[in-house]
Structure 1
Amino acid sequence: MMRNIARLRGRLAGLGVTLRPHLKTPKSIEVARRVMDCPAGPATVSTLREAEQFAAGGVRDILYGVGVVPSKLERVTALRRQGVELSLVVDNLDAARAVAAHARRTNDPIPTLIEIDSDGHRAGVRLDDTANLLAIGRALHAGGAELRGVMTHAGESYACRSVEEIEVVAEREGAAAVGCAAVLRDAGLPVPVVSVGSTPTAHFARDLTGVTEVRAGVFVFFDLVMAGLDVCTVDDIALSVLATVIGHQPDKGWILVDAGWMAMSRDRGTASQRIDQGYGVVCSVDGVPYPDLLMVQANQEQGIIAVRPGSTASLPQLPIGSLVRILPNHACPTAAQHDHYELIRTGSREITAQWPRFRGW
């Protein structure tokens, strides 16, 4: 984990931008303190529950990176009255007007960023939708809120097939955000923040001129999807689920473990990649992958381990009670199944700490 954090922080420092880590993956104040610039932040969250929990842990500079709706604005105000510099995101005129009206009522110029659609992946305003972009910017700036800037997320980077494709997506991501910032500035509107980010593009962006900060989250732990994108290696994956062998089905070539989809999640993010990793790669208790050994099926509380279809590898001898580590397809939903992390050092089996994590919205 610490190596992964150092890798991205060093890379972004070389490009002259700030890292605003997305804390939705770890949901742990102990992890947050190791990835942020300082105990106060900066940070990104995806739920107000995260914002509240991290604020209770001393984080003060937080971007709520999901489009806000009016029903959540009272919780926003409660946090800001505690001294938390919580900023919001909108991508439509109705939401911008609601934030501005709430800012006027509470006499609090809530800092708000406009979300930009840089790749058609999900939400946001397109660069060619100038009228809408300016209308949202003016509604915030003149309506009582603070137009803090623009932000975008290159979610389509997860569908790339090569590093070269990720580099293209990263270029498009930055160009869309910087271009929208220019449109707003040309209209006399303030844009102090230009925020971009996804774990793949953060690692392969070549030029971030005009960008002020990068957001990324899963890089802290990495996972099999990131390994499938060549963003990391399997050896970089810092998160695993410890499971116990509970049975065998020799005629089927199966080993049964006490970790099913409730432990691993149902995420099958590698199914569309070059190499399908089932529900996870199976390793020894020391974290060394067994040749072509996967969790091929997952029931609620039981997982089925077998050799990858088509492989000539042999099923390892794992008696009842043996421990294995399973690397996840997607670190975020796998971590979300658990209440804490157990910390071990490289090359050791000793648990040196237990870090709580939280859930909910």
Structure 2
Amino acid sequence: MIPTLATAPTPCLVLDEARMNRNIARLHARLEGTGVVFRPHLKTAKCIEVARRLMTSPAGPAMVSTLREAEEFAAAGVVDLTYGVGIAPDKLDRVAAIRAGGCDLAVLIDSVEQAEALTRRGDCIPALIEIDCDGHRSGVVPEDAARLLAIARALPPGGPRGVLTHGGESYNARSAAALRAAAEGERLAVVRAAAILREAGFACPVVSAGSTPTFLAAESFEGLTEFRAGVSVFFDLFQAGVGVCGPEEIALSVLTEVIGHQSAKGWTITDAGWMAMSRDRGTASQAVDQGYGVVLDIAGRPLGETIVIAANQEHGIVAARPGSGAPAPAPPIGARLRVLPNHACATAAQYDRYLVVGAETGEIIAEWPRFGGW
């Protein structure tokens, strides 16, 4: 029997279906008429029901961050996947097994060693070369043509399937102009890398860019064949702080129950601590520190300037935002609240299902399983 918001065991993960659908529509509209393919990153969702709504077809394309995701989505009929983490050689047997089941799973590399590991196998696992567009993490800078070409030449005949980059430094942007600049830097880096490979005789059919902020801020997609985005299916407070969504667009929340008060301190205690919300405090570096999450009432309406100011493992401490001058909230014991997360990926990882709230009733209409693991 499907629970209600008043009876669901807390803490639990609530998904606002209408908000999610609006977010997905925005993503699909972004590339309409451009000729660029949308390859959603499914690492946030980790759910077949969400993936089917997010992908442009039941077969994909899509991206994953774990081989467990690849296995689950391949079993559900997704046949076009990219594994978006640099491949470790001891994972290649598992990749081959997924491919043997009919899924065209490609891997990511940024070294000659990885390329040689693929070549030694002889089973033609396709690879994309990761490009470092902003010093954020992994990859080959496009200016290092020698390294880029050495990797391509170490691959099996035909070379790489393409090049791929992630504009991770866009998460540090603090203005619309900075977001646009990050998106253009990302695009130029991967297009330049593709040009180097093509001039050397490699076809390089895939030119892939992606991050939620750059996807929504980009002014040009010229030279790209696909764009990727993940957390934008749900959004979160960090993305709101970057400026790519508003809090009213965040589709995930954690349902929690009041279990006590510390009236002298202005605190309300709930049963959703950092195990329920995650320890992510990404908004602490932004203009507005959202603590461990913004507090809503059971219907999803903001409770003034109320946030989770601190968290222990199983206890959330709810109070007025420091410095706001707002009155301290005092919902009674047993009252139910909802909390918007700082980081949707990290918060959702704590749960094995979504409790889906429908637009018409404002109540739970379905339970969608989600999975974890690597």
* Fold conserved between structures, TM > 0.5: yes
Q: Is 2:27 the counterpart of 1:8?
A: yes
Q: CA–CA distance in 1 between the matches of 2:126 and 2:189?
A: 21
Say how many residue pairs are matched: 355
Q: Which residue of 2 aligns with 1:308?
A: 321
Q: Which residue of 2 aligns with 1:205?
A: 218
Q: CA–CA distance in 1 between the matches of 2:201 and 2:245?
A: 42
Q: By how many angstroms is 1:138 displaced?
A: 1.3
Give the superposed CA RMSD: 1.0
Q: CA–CA distance in 1 between the matches of 2:125 and 2:349?
A: 30
Q: 2:169 aligns with which of 136, 152, 156?
A: 156
Q: What are the Cα deviations for residues 31-55 of structure 1, in whole angstroms up to 9, with x where unaligned?
A: 0000001111101001111101111
Q: Which residue of 2 aligns with 1:129?
A: 144
The 3-state SS of whatever aligns with 1:275 is: coil
Q: 1:237 aligns with which of 229, 250, 256?
A: 250
Q: What are the Cα deviations for residues 273-323 of structure 1, in whole angstroms up to 9, with x where unaligned?
A: 000000000001111111110001111011000101111211234111101
Q: CA–CA distance in 2 between the matches of 1:275 and 1:317?
A: 23
Q: By how many angstroms is 1:144 displaced?
A: 4.7
The 3-state SS of whatever aligns with 1:53 is: helix
Q: What are the Cα deviations for residues 55-99 of structure 1, in whole angstroms up to 9, with x where unaligned?
A: 111111100011001100000110111111000110011001111
Q: By how many angstroms is 1:345 displaced?
A: 1.8
Q: Is 2:106 the counterpart of 1:82?
A: no
Q: 1:17 aligns with which of 24, 36, 39?
A: 36
Would the aligned equivalents of 1:193 and 1:213 in 2 still touch at CA under 8 Å? yes
Unaligned runs of 5+ in 2: 1-19
Q: Which residue of 2 aligns with 1:254?
A: 267
Q: CA–CA distance in 1 between the matches of 2:328 and 2:143?
A: 55
The 3-state SS of whatever aligns with 1:86 is: strand
Q: CA–CA distance in 2 between the matches of 1:306 and 1:348?
A: 29
Q: By how many angstroms is 1:173 displaced?
A: 0.2
Q: Which residue of 2 aligns with 1:278?
A: 291
Q: Is 2:139 the counterpart of 1:120?
A: no
Q: CA–CA distance in 2 between the matches of 1:215 and 1:350?
A: 32
Q: CA–CA distance in 2 between the matches of 1:197 and 1:85?
A: 20
TM-score by length of 1: 0.97
Q: Is 2:368 the counterpart of 1:355?
A: yes
Task: Single out whichever of 306-315 and 226-235 deviates more from structure 2.
Answer: 306-315
Looking at both structures, which has the greater relative contact order when contacts are Cα pairs under 8 Å and sequence separation is at least 6? 2
Unaligned runs of 5+ in 1: none
Q: Which residue of 2 aligns with 1:71?
A: 90
Amino acid at match of 1:83: G
Q: Which residue of 1 aligns with 2:4?
A: none
Q: CA–CA distance in 2 between the matches of 1:55 and 1:125?
A: 29
Q: By how many angstroms is 1:190 displaced?
A: 1.3
Q: What are the Cα deviations for residues 317-352 of structure 1, in whole angstroms up to 9, with x where unaligned?
A: 411110100000000000000010000023633211
Q: By how many angstroms is 1:145 displaced?
A: 6.8
Q: Is 2:51 the counterpart of 1:41?
A: no
Q: CA–CA distance in 2 between the matches of 1:16 and 1:281?
A: 38
Q: Which residue of 1 aligns with 2:114?
A: 95
Q: Which residue of 2 aligns with 1:339?
A: 352
1:145–1:337 Cα change, 3 Å: farther
Amino acid at match of 2:58: P
TM-score by length of 2: 0.93
The 3-state SS of whatever aligns with 2:229 is: coil
Q: By how many angstroms is 1:146 displaced?
A: 5.0
Would the aligned equivalents of 1:99 and 1:145 in 2 still touch at CA under 8 Å? no
Q: CA–CA distance in 1 between the matches of 2:306 and 2:119?
A: 54
The 3-state SS of whatever aligns with 1:4 is: helix
Q: CA–CA distance in 2 between the matches of 1:138 and 1:194?
A: 18
Q: 1:190 aligns with which of 203, 206, 210?
A: 203
Q: By how many angstroms is 1:14 displaced?
A: 4.2
Q: Which residue of 1 aligns with 2:124?
A: 109
Q: CA–CA distance in 2 between the matches of 1:163 and 1:335?
A: 28
Q: CA–CA distance in 2 between the matches of 1:244 and 1:14?
A: 46
Would the aligned equivalents of 2:152 and 2:159 in 1 still touch at CA under 8 Å? no
1:75–1:145 Cα change, 3 Å: farther
Q: CA–CA distance in 2 between the matches of 1:210 and 1:53?
A: 32
Would the aligned equivalents of 2:81 and 2:103 in 1 still touch at CA under 8 Å? yes
